[in-house]
Amino acid sequence: MRVRRALRILRVVIRHRLDRLIPGDVRLPGAVGWLIWLLRRLPTPQQDPSTSLRIALEELGPIFVKFGQLLSTRRDLLPVPVADELQKLQEQVPPFSGSQAKEILEEALGAPISTMFSTFKTEPLASASVAQVHEATLNDGSCVVIKVIRPGIDVTIQEDLRVLYLLADLANRFSVDGRRLRPTDVVRDYESVINGELNQQLEAANTIRLREHWLNSGKLYVPRVYSEFTRSNVLVMERIHGLTSADIQGLRQRGVNMQALAHLGVEIFFTQVFEHNFFHADMHPGNVYIDTTEPASPTYIALDCAIIGSLTEEDKDYLAYNLIAFFRRDYHEVARLHIESGWVPAVTDIQEFEAVIRSVCDPYFQKPISEISFGQVLLALFNTARQFDMEIQPQLVLLQKTLLNIEGMGRQIYPELDLWETAAPFMERWMSERIGLRGLVRQLSEHGPALLEQLPRLPATVLTTLQDLASVARISKEQTTVLRALKEDITTERRQRRQSRAGGVLLLAALASLLIPATGYAATEWIVGSSLLGSAGIYWMFVKP
């Protein structure tokens, strides 16, 4: 099976001449090198290499398609034409039989469907690469959807992952450009994402937490999870109804306030990132629906919570400061923050970095603010920083991808969306709460009980700390004394050695003056004088401190 799969992949690579994506100066070893050499003598397809790559991934099946979709979000790594082409990838996966889905469900729950569900539709509602969805009704009358993982998909995924790791290893070993793209890290990220999608209990936990954050908010609705029916390969959730966010015509026909809807999407994103620190990282239109019950105040519905992102407190702070500095066009501050945060090496020349950021970002401000793509700005900053060896962290990539999705969706809903105008009040309020008086009060309220608990121990802790400091100071003083004495001993020993060497030279000079035959006063005087001068020089260089 593994050999057959590898041969099929090889046939697709040859047919589409994917060797064109490999730089010409790369030297591959042995059989691989010969294969590339032969490929480059075959006819060239009419499509450009980026298009050929997309078509090849579609031929290789849903797992490679999903990998290509993930790659399309890595614009910090890929050339623009490749990323744009991969963004066109669509999952076109035929469903597996409803009877097979029913068997999987019954095996997972350990009981016949009729004992748990009053109805179960064998015709799937939707089908994707990893799972498909069926409608059902619980015995209490609740309408639900059941997400069932494809049978045998885990085996296929593991086989394809081995191939991807092999290709990544080849790129790492034999291509400088390949190493720059960090292919092994990319495959590892993909493995994490795809394994997360296979684990329905993880998705259930993410969904429950996201629902708790937004419950009764009137802004974002997250369907209820029926945990008692959820297993690692089965997820049962509340059935929701709404329009997909991509159905612009339907939204307008229902009289939805498009401006309010677009601004609400931005508010939800920034709230998830900066307040909850738990953001839905797969917010494409297929996972975002709109509740149009009240067209003047529409709300969002979030589905498919398999991919969730979060940032460290430090990354959140640095990101917020960076965004504010950028929109103030304070590029020196942007450069300083990148260096201080450790996103770029500490040895980076801040003036040079500032100049490059300015050259990349200033053109954005030649346009009206409503036409500036916030996501593209962040992408430009990341790409610029990459020239200075910036290591893009996975959580920042997820954030960038989500921001691009949110902004693209918002502009589709309301083309005049000024994302910064919507985000600025939120950011300023958040920063005020973070570092102002309210932030101090909040920190005290959060950590006050723990501080009060430690308060009775404070005098003893202070005393112990002072004693430890005194002990450290005493030890340091003793070590300094020992080191000083050791240094003096070493200096004395060196002086004695030098004196001994110099004495030997003087003795040799004296013997030379006695043994030289009387060949003339001038010659003897020259030899003795030279010997004495040489001895004096040795003394000066080696003996005199």
- pLDDT 10s digits, 134-158: 999 999 999 999 999 999 888 888 8
pTM of the predicted protein model = 0.69
What's the whole-number average pLDDT of the chain?
76
Higher pLDDT, 503 or 186: 186
Q: Which residues, in sequence order, are bridge partners of residue 300?
A: 220, 290
77-84: long-range contacts, CB 8 A cutoff, minimum separation 24: 77/181, 77/182, 77/186, 77/392, 78/181, 79/50, 81/48, 81/50, 82/21, 82/49, 82/50, 82/53, 84/50
For the stretch 1-42, pLDDT in tens is 567 777 787 788 888 887 777 766 556 655 666 777 777 777
Q: Rounded to the nearest 5°, which phi and psi values hold at 137?
A: -130, 130
**Residue 340 binned pLDDT confidence (cut-offs 50, 70, 90):** confident
Give the per-residue pLDDT at 504: 45
**62 pLDDT more than 90:** no
Higher pLDDT, 509 or 110: 110
Q: Which residues, in sequence order, are bridge partners of residue 136?
A: 120, 144
Give the per-residue pLDDT at 495: 57
**264 pLDDT more than 70:** yes
**532 pLDDT more than 60:** no
Higher pLDDT, 478 or 389: 389
Residue with tokens 């990341």: 382
What SS3 state is found at 127? strand
Strands, E assignment, 247-293: 279-280, 288-291
**Residue 438 binned pLDDT confidence (cut-offs 50, 70, 90):** low
Give the per-residue pLDDT at 135: 96
What SS3 state is found at 400? helix
**526 pLDDT more than 90:** no
**517 pLDDT more than 70:** no
Give the per-residue pLDDT at 191: 84
Q: What share of the chain has pLDDT > 90, as a percent?
A: 25
Give the C-alpha separation, 197 to 206, whole Å: 11
Give the C-alpha separation, 92 to 189, whole Å: 23
Mean pLDDT within 234-255 = 93
Give the per-residue pLDDT at 39: 73
**458 pLDDT more than 80:** no
Give the per-residue pLDDT at 204: 95
Question: What is the b/e burial string over 504-538, where b = at least 16 CB atoms within 10 angstroms of the residue's CB?
Answer: ebbeebeeeeeeeeeeeeeeeeeebeebeeebeeb
Residue with tokens 């053109």: 363
Give the per-residue pLDDT at 525: 40
Mean pLDDT within 301-325 = 86
Question: What sign does the CA torsion over 329, 330, 331, 335 have?
Answer: negative
Give the per-residue pLDDT at 184: 81
Active-site residue 291, yes or no? no
Higher pLDDT, 89 or 544: 89
Mean pLDDT within 186-204 = 85
Give the per-residue pLDDT at 508: 40
Give the per-residue pLDDT at 91: 64
- Residue 290, CA distances (Å) to 133, 225, 243, 253, 287 in order: 20, 19, 5, 13, 10
**452 pLDDT more than 60:** no
Give the C-alpha separation, 481 to 489, whole Å: 12
Give the per-residue pLDDT at 219: 95
**512 pLDDT more than 50:** no
**177 pLDDT more than 60:** no
Active-site option among 160, 282, 315, 418: 282
**369 pLDDT more than 70:** no
Give the C-alpha separation, 280 to 406, whole Å: 11
Give the C-alpha separation, 230 to 197, whole Å: 14
Which two three-digit tokens encode residue 25?
Answer: 């100066």
The 10 Å Cβ neighbour count of residue 246 is 17
DSSP 94: P
Give the C-alpha separation, 67 to 213, whole Å: 30
Higher pLDDT, 367 or 220: 220
Most confident of 287-301, 364-378, 418-432: 287-301
Higher pLDDT, 384 or 103: 103
**Residue 226 binned pLDDT confidence (cut-offs 50, 70, 90):** very high
For the stretch 486-501, pLDDT in tens is 556 555 555 555 454 4
Q: What share of the chain has pLDDT > 70, as a percent?
A: 69
Q: Are strands 220-221 and 234-238 parallel, antiparallel or unpaired?
A: unpaired
**Residue 527 binned pLDDT confidence (cut-offs 50, 70, 90):** very low
Please answer whether residues 272 and 258 qualify as being in contact, where contact means their C-beta atoms are separated by less than 8 angstroms: no
- Residue 90, CA distances (Å) to 116, 179, 281, 286 in order: 35, 28, 18, 11
**543 pLDDT more than 50:** no
**Residue 531 binned pLDDT confidence (cut-offs 50, 70, 90):** very low
Give the C-alpha separation, 95 to 127, whole Å: 5
**Residue 257 binned pLDDT confidence (cut-offs 50, 70, 90):** very high
